[in-house]
Structure 1
Amino acid sequence: MEMQAVEAARRWLAEQGVSQVREGWVSDEKPGEVLTANEVAHSWAGDVFAEDLDVADQVRLAFGLLDLLDDYWVTCEIRFADESAEGPLPADVLWDGYRQRLEADRDVEAVTYSLWVDWFEDHTTSASAFAEVLGNDIDHVVNNRSEPALRRANRVLECSGPVRWPVKEPTYRTALRLPALHPALFKGLLASFHDVYGDLEPAGALALLDQLDLPTTTQHLAELRHVLAAGHSNHYRSPDAWDDATRSCS
C-alpha cells in the first residue's frame, strides 16, 4: 500500500512537471536546476489540497508525497490543510496515515518530529492526537505485541514529552505491563522533564520510573529519579535542578 502511495505521488509530481533524477529533482520550468526534496515539498506539497479530488484522496496523496520526499514540510502542509477554512481533514484518513507510517520498518523522523512539535506541543490538539496514534489502542498493542504496533508505540512514547500528564499517564501505565516498552517509556519520562513544553507530575512519574525494568547503568536514570524525588516537574521551571542532580549522582 505504501508503494502504491509513493507511485501515485510520483505520477502526480510528473503531472506538475517535476521528476526525480540521480542528483535530486528537476522541474520542466527550470530543467537545469537541481532541486532538493525540501524545495520540492515547499513548492508543490500544498498544491495537493487544491486538486480536484475527494478530500480523503487528497490526504492519501499528501502522505504518498511524504513517503516519496521524506520531508517534514509535507506534514506542515497537511496540518495547514487541517486548520484551513476547508478543514478539518477526515480524522480517520489523517490518523490512519500517521499510524501506518509510525509502524513502518524504516526511519520516520519527519513523522515523529511532526507529532512532537506540531500536534503534541499544541495543547489544543495533543490529547486527540495522542489518543489517535496510541492512547486509543494501547491495550491492544500490549496484548498482541505485533512488531509494527510496537514500533509505533515506541516512537510515540519517545516523543510524548509535551502531552499533558493526565492525558498520557494512563497510556504510560498500560505500557508499563510490557517490558519491551520500558526503554521508550523512560525516554518519554525524560523528555517530559527536559522538553520546553514537557509535562509530568513528579510523584506519579517517579512511581512509574521505579517500576521500569532498566539497567542500573542507564544514562540519566539516577539524575531523573533525583529531580523527580525532589518534586521538580520541568527542567525549564527548575533550571538548576538537573545540574544539582548530576553532582549528587556522580
Structure 2
Amino acid sequence: MQAEQTARRWLADQGVSQVRGGWVSDVEPDVLLTANQVAHSWAGDVFAEDVDAADQVRLAFGLLDLLDEYWVTCEIRFANEGAEGPLPADVLWDGYRQRLEADRDAEAVTYSLWVDWFEDHVTSASAFAEVLGTDIDRVVAERSEALLRRARRVLECSGPVRWAVKEPTYRTAVRLPALHPALFRGLLTSFHDVYGDLEPADALALLDRLDLPTDTLHLAELRHVLAAGHRNHYRSPGAWDDAVRSCS
C-alpha cells in the first residue's frame, strides 16, 4: 500500500491524477485516460528519475500496484536489459515475490513471468529460481497461505520453463497436496504452451502422484498423450485430438 501511495504522489508530480472513471493529465484535463494509457505514457519515466536504481524499481512496482497494467512490467524488463541495467536483482525479484504472495489479483505479474521471463530461455532458469525454485522447500515446510499462493501462481504459469530446471521443484511440490491442482496446470501448460517443455515419462510419473478428482478436466487426455510419449502439442499435431477421442 505504501508503494502504491508513493506512486500516486509521483504521478501527481507529473500532473496525472485519478478521477471518476479513469485518469487525467494537466496537459489535457478534458481527456479521460485509461490506466493502460497512463502506463504506456509514464511508466518508462520512472527509470529516468534521479534516484538510485533500487528506488526506481520500488516506484515502478508501486505504479504496477496502482494501475494493475502489464505494461508496467514491460518497462521494468526494458530497464533491466537497457544500458543502465541490470536492475538490482534483490529488489527486482522481491517485488515479484511480494505481489505473487499478495491476496489480490496478480494477473499482470503472472503474465509477465510467463511471456517475458519464462519463455526466454536466457532468463527462465534464474527467474524461476527467484520466484519459486529456491524457496520450494520452505513453501512445503511452512505452508503459509502467502507462500502457497505464490507457489500456485508460479506453478500454473511455469509451462515454458525447461523441464530440467523446473522438475526438481515439481518433485518437491508434489509432496504437498494443496499444490496438486496447480502442479496439474503446470504439467498441462507444459504440454500445450508453444514454448512448453516436459519429458513425457517423468511428467507422467508426476501426474500419477497427484491427488485429483477423477473427473478433472483434461486429466485423462493429458495422461493419454504422455503415455504415448508426446512432448508438446505443437510437436505432435493431432495427438491431443486423438486423446480426446480415445477418452470420450
| 2:6 maps to 1:8 | yes
Distance 1:239 1:107 in 2: 34
CA separation in 2, counterparts of 1:43 and 1:22?
Answer: 20
State how far apart, in whole Å, the 2-side matches of 1:158 and 1:152 are.
10
Secondary structure, aligned partner of 1:34? coil
The reply to whether residue 54 of structure 1 matches residue 56 of structure 2 is no
Calculate the TM-score normalised by the size of structure 1. Answer: 0.99
Partner of 2:82 in structure 1?
84
C-alpha deviation, 1:20, in angstroms? 0.2
> How many Å separate the matches in 2 of 1:29 and 1:106?
33
Deviation at 1:153, TM superposition (A): 0.1
1:103 aligns with 2:83: no
Q: 2:40 corresponds to which residue?
A: 42
Over the aligned positions, Cα root-mean-square deviation in angstroms equals 0.3
CA–CA distance in structure 2, aligned partners of residues 108 and 220 of structure 1: 25
- Pair 1:131 & 2:129 matched: yes
Aligned to 1:188: 186
Post-superposition shift, 1:23?
1.1
- Partners of 2:100 and 2:32 in 1: how far apart? 30
2:112, 2:200 → 1: CA distance?
27
Identity of matched residues, %? 85
Q: Which residue of 2 aligns with 1:229?
A: 227
2: CA distance between counterparts of 1:212 and 1:23? 45
Q: Distance in 1 between matches of 2:208 and 2:21?
A: 50
1:208 aligns with 206
Q: Equivalent residue for 1:219?
A: 217
Q: Deviations over 1:150-197 (max 9, x none)?
A: 000000000000000000000000000000000000000000000000
3-state DSSP class of the match of 2:234? Answer: coil
In 1: Cα distance, 2:149 partner to 2:184 partner: 15
Q: What is residue 142 of structure 2 aligned with on the other side?
A: 144
Work out whether 1:121 is the aligned partner of 2:119: yes
**SS of the residue 2:62 aligns to:** helix
AA of the residue aligned to 1:159: C
**In 2: Cα distance, 1:178 partner to 1:59 partner:** 33
SS in structure 2 at match of 1:11: helix
Structure 1 residues 200-220: Cα deviation after superposition (integer angstroms, max 9, x where no partner): 000000000000000000000
Please give the alpha-carbon distance, in whole angstroms, between the structure 1 residues aligned to 2:118 and 2:80.
Answer: 15
State the Cα deviation string for residues 47-88 of structure 1 (Å, max 9, x = none): 000000110000000000000000000000000000001100
In structure 1, the residue matched to 2:175 is: 177
Ranges of 4+ aligned residues in structure 1 off by more than 3 Å: none
Aligned length: 248
What is the aligned counterpart of 2:164 among 166, 170, 173? 166
SS for the counterpart of 1:25 is strand
Q: Within 1, Cα distance between the matches of 2:143 and 2:115?
A: 28
State the AA in 1 paired with 2:169.
T
Q: Residue 239 of structure 1: CA displacement? A: 1.1
Q: 2:155 aligned to 154, 157, 165, which one?
A: 157
What SS does the aligned partner of 2:103 have?
Answer: coil
Q: Give the TM-score normalised by structure 2.
A: 1.00
In the aligned structure 1, how far is the partner of 2:105 from the partner of 2:48? Answer: 29
For 2:87 and 2:52, locate their aligned partners in 1 and report how far apart those are by CA, in whole Å: 11
Letter in 1 for 2:36: N
Corresponding residue of 1:63: 61
Give the secondary structure class of the aligned counterpart of 1:20.
strand
Shift of 1:102: 0.1
In structure 2, distance between residues paired with 1:239 and 1:86: 43
